[in-house]
Structure 1
Amino acid sequence: MVHGTHNALEDSRNNDIFISINDQLFPRNDAKISVFDSGYLVGDGIWEALRLHNGVLVFLEDHFNRLWSAAATIGMHLPFTKEELTAKVWNTLKANDMTDGVHVRIMVTRGIKKTPSQDPRLTISGPNVVIIPEYKTASKDSKEKGITLFTSTIRRGSPDYLDPRLNCHSKLHEVQALIQAIQAGADEALMLDINGFVSTCNATNFFIVSKGEVWTSTSKYCMNGITRAKVIEVCRKNNIPCFEKDFSLFDVYGADEAFVTGTFGGLTPVTKIDGRQIGDGKYGHITKKLNEFYESLIENTVKNG
């Protein structure tokens, strides 16, 4: 069984979901995209993932701000507004009668190519928009157990060739890092930046707790995580010292606690890194406290609509 931050409970309802492709709804098994799609051919696309809690798309504005920034970064014109994309998402959710416990993946590629090529001038359609909503609940057992990490030799890219803040379809380097970690017997990969400092994991952001302080990497070489930003926010609101800084594996191996953050799993404790136990090797006290603050933030967001 796969163990990691994206370990979800099985839900048979997902067998019969409808997926939106350019505003048309298709049963899961019939949802297909052209082999001439830019995302399929050259990874030319961007994406977002968000959660539906009790009828509210949580942190929607943050996610859409990130999506529009990604589109601007790769020179893709989005022929719809944020309000129009919100309506597309809700149409898909309503078609599936979904109100809670849902993970929504939005993928936007540059469009259909005339022929296989990198050249964006050979795109002959507007952007392709795919919306996949699934019932997904993170496994509580996995969260309590925590995950193990292995430090990959694959580095996070520099902003001048592939900015790590960009949620793009080109994920091969992260896949390679994860494969290394799996082959080493770990659940997921820890990735360093080009200077050898700790950056992120292959699919989540990374934090340590050291002597009551919470540390995470600078924003120079790490993913622009919404959950990462919210954890930093709740730290500051609750007077927990939190620093975005350069730190190395020297600091990591001696940390009291470690955890990772992501939209799906929230906060997930890390028990071992490179075979070394972190702290007590358990779900740490400060990590639990931060998780409670983060879940309260979600609850307040839902209450306020």
Structure 2
Amino acid sequence: MTDHVSTHQAEEDARNETILIYLNGRIVPKREATVSVYDSGFMLGDGVWEGLRLYDGRWAFLDEHLDRLFEAAKAIDLDIGLDRAGVRQALFDTQAANGMTTDAHARLMVTRGVKARPFQHPALSRSGPTVAIIMEHSRPKLPRPIRLATVPHMRGLPMTQDPKLNSHSKLNCILACIAAEKAGADEALMLDVHGFVNTTNACNFFIVRGGEVWTSTGDYCMNGITRAKVIALCRANGIPLREKNFSLVEAYSADEAFLTGTFGAQTPVGQIDGRVIGTGELGPMTERLRALYKALVAAEG
């Protein structure tokens, strides 16, 4: 199996070669958007980030994304150097500079900044922070449902690296993704410390069984905004929703499975560890939730 796809797979768009990028208060051409080798993000993965999606002129659930960004920055004791209004304005300015109106994705990144010496201690970051916004024209293009493989890499305990923290330090997830690709899959299905099904390396995970939508307890999963919206949509529309521990046995025999994330919204899963899930195609519950989510995004504006 060599036809790997990604939950972040998008149509090719030549306009992305000439995008403008926000970097520390300036908006510069892509080739000029560079940071120092002494930057804390490059050197240590010391920073936090948000992924945002532009639909019909509006950044979906922007307030929730800003809440999560500032919460993460406080958790790692990082001063972003901008207030909420400043971050919003930086996003809007970058959008305007690129002439983007819809089908765009932004990655907003904040690191502790440039270090005085190449060592770990945060006090060595004396000229921070570094704030960057990469904004690309991006329309999801998934040729088939995602194939998952279970990997040994776990979603860890909060006292190691809390999975709810959107940090630049993604090596655990990258190793999980590599393991899945070596197994011939597209993405990794990661378990929690008790062996229950949790998330993938990049997205949150749901299954559908007997008309019920199941997801993890939330104790070890990423603090997903799209996940929260799907849970709320189920509750608002009379769809039975259970946040619970469940095993691979229950996942293998699910009627449907799907992933949630800012980029792909609801992405169908066709196989887990070589087992076909349901029909192996987009299922009716996933399709219904996609429609409800699309309506929610439209209604937000």
CA deviation after TM superposition for structure 1 residue 2, in Å: 5.0
* 1:33 equivalent in structure 2: 35
* 2:108 equivalent in structure 1: 106
Pair 1:204-2:206 in alignment: no
Contact 2:4 2:185 in 1 (8 A): no
CA deviation after TM superposition for structure 1 residue 30, in Å: 2.0
Segments of structure 1 that go 5 or more residues without pairing to the other structure are: none
Of stretches 70-79 and 149-158 in structure 1, the one that deviates more from structure 2 is 70-79
SS at the partner of 1:160? helix
Contact 2:4 2:181 in 1 (8 A): no
1:291 & 1:277 partners in 2: Cα distance?
Answer: 21
**Amino acid aligned to 2:237:** N
CA deviation after TM superposition for structure 1 residue 78, in Å: 2.3
Deviation string for 1:157-193 (max 9, x for gaps)? Answer: 1111100000000000100000010011101000001
Q: Match for 2:80 among 48, 62, 78?
A: 78
CA deviation after TM superposition for structure 1 residue 37, in Å: 0.3
Q: Match for 2:20 among 13, 18, 39?
A: 18
1:85 & 1:281 partners in 2: Cα distance?
Answer: 41
**Amino acid aligned to 1:185:** G
2:126 & 2:159 partners in 1: Cα distance?
Answer: 29
* 1:121 equivalent in structure 2: 123
**Amino acid aligned to 1:123:** S
1:14 & 1:77 partners in 2: Cα distance?
Answer: 30
Structure 1 consecutive aligned stretches of length 4 or more whose deviation exceeds 4 Å: none
**Amino acid aligned to 1:116:** P
* 1:94 equivalent in structure 2: 96
Number of equivalenced pairs = 299
* 2:299 equivalent in structure 1: 300
SS at the partner of 2:89? helix
CA deviation after TM superposition for structure 1 residue 79, in Å: 2.0
Q: Match for 2:66 among 60, 64, 67?
A: 64
Segments of structure 2 that go 5 or more residues without pairing to the other structure are: none
Contact 2:4 2:184 in 1 (8 A): no
1:293 & 1:132 partners in 2: Cα distance?
Answer: 29
- TM-score normalised by length of structure 1: 0.96
- TM-score normalised by length of structure 2: 0.98
Pair 1:149-2:148 in alignment: yes
SS at the partner of 1:103? strand
**Amino acid aligned to 2:74:** A
Q: CA RMSD in A?
A: 1.0
Pair 1:130-2:129 in alignment: no
1:213 & 1:169 partners in 2: Cα distance?
Answer: 34
CA deviation after TM superposition for structure 1 residue 267, in Å: 0.4
Deviation string for 1:204-263 (max 9, x for gaps)? Answer: 000000111000011110000110001001101110001111111011011111000110
Contact 2:204 2:224 in 1 (8 A): yes
1:50 & 1:26 partners in 2: Cα distance?
Answer: 20
**Amino acid aligned to 2:138:** K
SS at the partner of 2:286? helix
**Amino acid aligned to 1:216:** T
* 2:189 equivalent in structure 1: 190
CA deviation after TM superposition for structure 1 residue 99, in Å: 1.3
CA deviation after TM superposition for structure 1 residue 98, in Å: 1.2
1:188 & 1:9 partners in 2: Cα distance?
Answer: 19
1:49 & 1:289 partners in 2: Cα distance?
Answer: 24
* 1:231 equivalent in structure 2: 230
Deviation string for 1:123-160 (max 9, x for gaps)? Answer: 11121000011000001x53xx2110000111111111
**Amino acid aligned to 1:299:** A
1:118 & 1:27 partners in 2: Cα distance?
Answer: 31
2:259 & 2:81 partners in 1: Cα distance?
Answer: 35
